[in-house]
Structure 1
Amino acid sequence: MSRTRHATLRTNTAALTLALGTLILAGPAYAVEPTSNGQGASAEQQGGGDKTGIYAAARIQYSGAVAKGGGTGNVTSSDVNWTPPPCWYAPYLGAKDFKKEMSKDIEDKKNTPGMTGTAGAAIGEMQRHYEDEYGWTGTPGYKDYNVENDGKGMFWAAVENPDEPDYLKRTSCTDLPFWVENGDAPPPQYEEAISPEILAALAYQRMELPDTKVTLAPEANTKVNLPTWAWLDKAVFDEVQATAALNVPGFNIQATTTAKPVSLKLEPGTKDAVTYPASGECAINADGSIGEPYAKGKADQTPPCGIRYLRSSGHGTYKLRATITWEIDWTGTGGAGGDLPNGTFGNDQAVTVQEIQSVNR
């Protein structure tokens, strides 16, 4: 079959490929052990509900500081152009199980969620591809679903990221399920095949960072034109790690994403304020802390990290936002590794600013 014909088939079966993934992966996406708190606490999650078929094959395990309940964490990428993978190819089913799945009545498949008006024809062509060596240039077909090699490998199929938009899923991972021998890497044309780098991005997406509540002096209530010192002790926050792993027969990979705090940004919540330093960015110190604790006798000094409010907050408060920038990298199976975009996470704190009262005699 020519590549043009291949493209046509891919267009017709794109909905089928993703619908299969959606249908078979439906159900509880993750199970997570309870944690003691929500501030970067350790947790372990497993993708998949039951432990058979696609669940056993495509389940990704998460451990470390990951968001509870299987949802996205609270880290936000500083690169607006970076997004986690909307889908990926992962080990799906053995040959006999795949044949059983694809041998269902075509009329039943037409009612599969996500099917289009051309689904019937597309399913028929796809079955031929696996039943009678019907293929195309560069992608040969299979004879009887490759059952003679059952146990020696697995069919890989598209798996959707439940936390990413549908429009991204529709334009990615549109190839039909393909066979990979145990221990072999997927063919290079499948760039979205699960890899340490993809696992690192998924761990990044689910990473949970600790709250960013800075210590202030004066605490909560300050005065107009009085420098307010701000700092974070190293004991309050440290590096955070999250690991994603996929372990199936003949294919075991994992990646650990590590986030290290590098700076603190203060936003006073009003234009009538001055930050120290002027940029509002407080760098991390050599000992891993940020800023400097206030000590008696420093009232007239300029804090290395802090704020000076120029106007009273009246009967209300200013919403001080403290945001930590985290430098994020990853390491994975086989010595793989690299950098990911910096992440940010911040919290708001209410600050009351009062006028200094004076008495005229």
Structure 2
Amino acid sequence: MLISSPAYAKRGPGGSDGGAKTSGSSSGNTLESRITYSGSVGGTNSTRTGNVAPVGNWNPPACWYEPVSAKDFQNQVESQYSEVVNDPGQPNYAKAATGQFRDMYKDGKYKNFNLDKADEGNWWVAVQEPNRLDDPNAFTCSKLPFWVQNGDTPAVQNAVTPQVLAELAYNRILLPDAEVTLAPQNVTKVNLPTWAWLDPSTFKPVQVTASLNVAGLNIQATTTAKPVSLKLQPGTADAESYPASGACAINDDDSIGEPYSKGKSNKTPPCGIKYLRSSGKGTYNLKATITWRINWTGTGGAGGELPDGTFGATQDVTVQEIQSVNR
């Protein structure tokens, strides 16, 4: 069921028109999206997760356009109109603006919401990402609902396509905390190399699928994130990283780093840190950030790459002032 949010006096459904404006709450008074999402964090027992952060200046769309049938559009507009005009708390200009919007599609530029053309096309409406309403880009899809004939491609940016679905799925990828295994664990020594690694059974590719099946449009896209490297930041300048860049590449078996075992005490860890100063009575905040390579596949054989994403977490490490130990 398509749902509109309660109307307030600022912005209209899908945009503005000649200064007549009303507003919505969390969905900006646009129609609620019919896009569905499936998928979850894969291959991890971590109870702590977070959204992937794109590398660079790219971000998934904060708004887009998608189709809705003539009947559903009529129901939404009439419901919104009734809600606003019958609300004594709404100012008169909000009621007037909502009425103007309704009249445009009922008795004005269009007639009776194009119900007599329901088999020929659909209304396309702006939808905002509910978690991005503080982003100015969420208000760039400012076109009022417009009619599109079946088979035509809307000539607007962010009209929903398999790629747009893939980008929206990107925004919903949940990744596990990058809590690495350390040796020594949690408490290490000054000038003692600390080994760090991630087990391949813990960090596996994560997938989210976005689907839209409405008003004759049936498309989907699956976005996949795969871990490719781990970057360690020791939490102090008094430390050395292995490798020097702090970026540990993924191994052929999809692990990162190498577990410590007896007999390796004189070896340099392929992934790790050496602290040069004690943490005193406190701890250092070791930050581990995983970079995820992200690609997608979609309806009709479409697909490609999306910008890499990162997600990181910190863990406390105590460093004691002991110059040498036997292990």
Superposed pair shares fold, TM > 0.5: yes
Residues 73 and 113 in structure 2, CA contact (< 8 A), matched pair in contact too = no
Q: 1:274 aligns with which of 218, 222, 240?
A: 240
Alpha-carbon distance, 1:110 to partner:
10
Alpha-carbon distance, 1:255 to partner:
1.1
Spell out the pairing of 1:54-69 with structure 2 (5 A cutoff): 58-65=33-40
Cross-structure match for 2:141: 173
Residues 66 and 206 in structure 1, CA contact (< 8 A), matched pair in contact too = no
CA deviation digits over 1:29-49, x for unaligned, max 9?
Answer: xxxxxxxxxxxxxxxxxxxxx
Q: Measure, in 1, the Cα distance between the counterparts of 2:91 and 2:157.
A: 25
Q: Is the deviation greater in 146-155 or in 336-345? A: 146-155
Q: Is the deviation greater in 204-213 or in 102-111? A: 102-111
Structure in which a larger fraction of residues adopt helix = 1
CA deviation digits over 1:211-250, x for unaligned, max 9?
Answer: 2111111111111111111111211211111111111141
Residues 77 and 102 in structure 2, CA contact (< 8 A), matched pair in contact too = no
Q: Measure, in 1, the Cα distance between the counterparts of 2:101 and 2:29.
A: 21
Q: Measure, in 1, the Cα distance between the counterparts of 2:85 and 2:231.
A: 54
Cross-structure match for 1:161: 129
Q: Measure, in 2, the Cα distance between the counterparts of 1:177 and 1:122.
A: 14
Cross-structure match for 1:226: 192
Spell out the pairing of 1:131-280 with structure 2 (5 A cutoff): 131-132=107-108, 134=109, 142-166=110-134, 168=136, 171-182=139-150, 184-187=151-154, 189-280=155-246
Cross-structure match for 2:63: 87
Q: What TM-score, normalized to structure 1?
A: 0.73
Identity of aligned residues (%): 53
Q: 1:76 aligns with which of 41, 53, 59?
A: 53
Q: Measure, in 1, the Cα distance between the counterparts of 2:179 and 2:76.
A: 55
Q: 1:298 aligns with which of 249, 254, 264?
A: 264
Q: Measure, in 2, the Cα distance between the counterparts of 1:113 and 1:331.
A: 48
Cross-structure match for 1:22: 27
Alpha-carbon distance, 1:62 to partner:
0.9
Q: Which segments of 5 or more consecutive residues in structure 1 lack a partner in the other structure?
A: 1-7, 26-53, 135-141
Superposition CA RMSD, Å: 3.4
Q: What TM-score, normalized to structure 2?
A: 0.80
Q: Give the SS at the match of 1:199.
A: helix
Q: Measure, in 2, the Cα distance between the counterparts of 1:357 and 1:303.
A: 18
Q: 1:335 aligns with which of 282, 301, 321?
A: 301
Q: Is the deviation greater in 294-303 or in 268-277? A: 294-303
Q: Measure, in 1, the Cα distance between the counterparts of 2:253 and 2:81.
A: 66
Q: Which amino acid aligns with 2:35?
A: I
Q: Give the SS at the match of 1:270.
A: coil
Q: Give the SS at the match of 1:209.
A: strand
Q: Which amino acid aligns with 2:51?
A: N
Structure 1's 12 and 193: CA in aligned 2 closer, same or farther, altered over 3 A? farther
Alpha-carbon distance, 1:158 to partner:
1.4
Residue correspondences, number:
304
Residues 96 and 145 in structure 1, CA contact (< 8 A), matched pair in contact too = no
Structure 1's 208 and 129: CA in aligned 2 closer, same or farther, altered over 3 A? closer
Q: Measure, in 2, the Cα distance between the counterparts of 1:330 and 1:149.
A: 35
Cross-structure match for 1:45: none
1:285 maps to 2:251: yes
Residues 246 and 252 in structure 1, CA contact (< 8 A), matched pair in contact too = yes
Alpha-carbon distance, 1:287 to partner:
1.7
